[in-house]
Structure 1
Amino acid sequence: MEATRFVFGKEILEIAKTHDDFVVCNADTKACGIEAMGDLFPTRSYSIGIAEQNLINVAAGLAAEDFKVFACTFAVFVTMRCCEQVRNFICYPHLNVTVVGTHTGLQVGEDGATHAAVEDVAIMRAFPNMTIIQPADAVAAKAIAHAAHQFHGPLYVRLHRNPSPLIYDESYTFELGKATRVLNFGDDVALISSGIMLQKALDAAGALKEKGIKARVIDMSTLKPLDEDAVLEAARATNAIVTIEDHSLIGGLGSAVTQLLSEKHPCHVKCIGIPDVFGESGPSEVLYAKHRMDVPSIVAAAEQVVAKKR
């Protein structure tokens, strides 16, 4: 198992060996390994120091001069400390900057509550021109690195702290704005997940099958723009949706899905994620269980929405 943050960073370095069309800015952290760019290509790497607002300002300045820029640091800093800079200097002028945020969600519990980015998607979703993508495993992270390199415009790549199990094989392809149906046992309920929670969604689908409930599992790797067709198709087929995310219930995947469904196809929905609380210290699995984000809780939520159909 590998952490998506390191796989993404390594792949960007591999891309750099054959493509000289981008530069990297970092905040003097070891967030994703992309910081090693300075060892390989010193003239294409800029370490700004622990000054994240300056990091975004420098990235914006480089992008204004037609550079493609990857700006990377911990998500809690790049989305909150740099909120104004990302909004006004990257999104507003629609500059070609990929913001790489690592250490997201409750996986950061062992690093301390202040470093847990549980609001980052909500912040970035609110900015016009911003696109948001998130890999579920190492294979997806590698594919998303290539997509990020080819993308033009403001982009937020959300990466995870801890190693995650492999879900996809090398046949996986990432298409921006399109969800992936990972598993389809049937049409009793649809589990829509993003990022690190996908494995829990798959485990829950297996447990539900043993109980006679047939679930489909969808990986929403692009959080903005949302794949509305995939959500609506799942809603029409199942009339029962469970969203699963390692992010606040306010402003993330669940909010995007429920807003869409309330307007275009109301159905039974249950959202699983972090309640209206700050992150806290502790092992991630303990925190997932505390906030009812573990597999048994996903199974229970699915049973509830299925029961409402009867």
Structure 2
Amino acid sequence: MKAQRQVWGETLHELSKTDDRVVILDGDLATSTKADIMAAENPDAFVQVGIAEQNMVGMAVGMATLGYRPWLSTFGVFLSNRALDQIRMLVSQTKLPVRLAAAYSGLLNGAAGKTHQDIEDLAVMRALPNMTVLAPADEYELEAMIRWAADFDGPLYMRVARDPVKPVFTEAYTEFELGKPRVVREGTDVTLISTGVQTSRTVEAAELLAEQGVSAKVIHLASLKPVDGDALLSLIGDAPRVFTVEEHTKINGLGSLVAELLIESDKTTRLTRIGLEDGWSESGPNDFLLDKYGISPKRVAEQVLAAK
């Protein structure tokens, strides 16, 4: 297994060898985000901005107007909160191809403190017009997503997790399709829909459910905006019970997205959202936090069994 942040740094460095448009702007977190790979191997494609995220967005926008495809390197919380005004005014409104790489995204940044956690980012970015919002499941999907983004002509926000997870896909995954949901595990009794690295834990939850005699289909949605709603509804089919599972607040994240689609369809599917309740998260080890907030494989399986 390889951490997404490592794959992010390596893939962008690889792309920069043949694509002069690729450049990383870093907010003094290169050793954490692995932007230091670019700094060491191709310093001409690396700009150290320092702790000045708002200015970093402005610089990236200027570079984008000159034909570059800039990637911003910092923690997700600093993009979706500290630099939000600049992203809203300079990136979202202009539709320029600025890539917001949200490192250390989600709940599992407890070692750095709850101030550095961001479990509201997808809600914020989904609400911005023209913003593409992506959350890859593992190292393989992330690499395919980065290579796809090289020629994508628009702004995007991409979650990049700190720690490695059990892969959902394999090296055979080379073509990312924007908006397309994927079935990563077949099942007949219940349907679980997940996004980002939480999909890996959701697959593990499905395996635990199988031990209890419950067959669970798992659908992975890497693109939260845009999303092929018809394709997702087709995969849900006539499932009587659907659960969304996300490493994010329940407010305006994956669960809200699926609810929006279901309520506008003619389906009578019952939906249960599994995610963080409205409130501030806290610092702590990964496994402790996953259990506390109900999104570890065991806790997900327990909630499905209790609700089924």
Q: Taking structure 1 as the reference length, what is the TM-score of the superposition?
A: 0.93
> Deviation digits for residues 169-214 of structure 1, max 9, x if unmatched?
1112321111111110x32111111111112211111122222221
Superposed, 1:260-279 pairs within 5 Å as 260-264=261-265, 265-279=267-281
Q: Residue 123 of structure 1 corresponds to which residue in structure 2?
A: 124
Q: Taking structure 2 as the reference length, what is the TM-score of the superposition?
A: 0.94
| Amino acid aligned to 2:219 | I
Asked whether the equivalents of residues 91 and 98 of structure 2 are also in contact (C-alpha less than 8 Å), the reply is: yes
Q: Residue 197 of structure 2 corresponds to which residue in structure 1?
A: 196
The sequence identity of aligned pairs, in percent, is 36
Alpha-carbon distance between aligned partners in 2 of 1:5 and 1:126, rounded to the nearest angstrom: 25
Q: Residue 302 of structure 1 corresponds to which residue in structure 2?
A: 304
Q: Residue 177 of structure 1 corresponds to which residue in structure 2?
A: 179
Alpha-carbon distance between aligned partners in 2 of 1:303 and 1:228, rounded to the nearest angstrom: 27
Greater mean alpha carbon deviation, residues 48-57 or residues 143-152: 143-152
Q: 1:291 aligns with which of 273, 289, 293?
A: 293
Shift of 1:152: 1.4
Structure 1 residues 157 and 164: CA distance shift in structure 2, 3 A: same
Unpaired runs of 5+ in structure 1?
A: none
Q: Residue 18 of structure 2 corresponds to which residue in structure 1?
A: 18
| Amino acid aligned to 1:161 | R
Alpha-carbon distance between aligned partners in 2 of 1:261 and 1:300, rounded to the nearest angstrom: 24
The DSSP-based 3-state class of the residue aligned with 2:14 is helix
Q: Residue 73 of structure 1 corresponds to which residue in structure 2?
A: 74
| Amino acid aligned to 1:7 | V
Superposed, 1:145-184 pairs within 5 Å as 145-172=146-173, 173-184=175-186
The DSSP-based 3-state class of the residue aligned with 2:251 is coil
The DSSP-based 3-state class of the residue aligned with 2:170 is coil
Alpha-carbon distance between aligned partners in 2 of 1:37 and 1:77, rounded to the nearest angstrom: 21
Alpha-carbon distance between aligned partners in 1 of 2:232 and 2:181, rounded to the nearest angstrom: 9
Q: Residue 134 of structure 1 corresponds to which residue in structure 2?
A: 135
Alpha-carbon distance between aligned partners in 2 of 1:152 and 1:279, rounded to the nearest angstrom: 35
Whether 1:259 and 2:260 are equivalent positions in the alignment is yes
How many residue pairs get aligned? The number is 305
The DSSP-based 3-state class of the residue aligned with 1:287 is helix
Greater mean alpha carbon deviation, residues 48-57 or residues 277-286: 277-286
The DSSP-based 3-state class of the residue aligned with 1:246 is strand
| Amino acid aligned to 2:95 | H
Alpha-carbon distance between aligned partners in 2 of 1:188 and 1:254, rounded to the nearest angstrom: 19
Alpha-carbon distance between aligned partners in 2 of 1:224 and 1:305, rounded to the nearest angstrom: 29
Shift of 1:217: 0.7
Shift of 1:115: 0.2
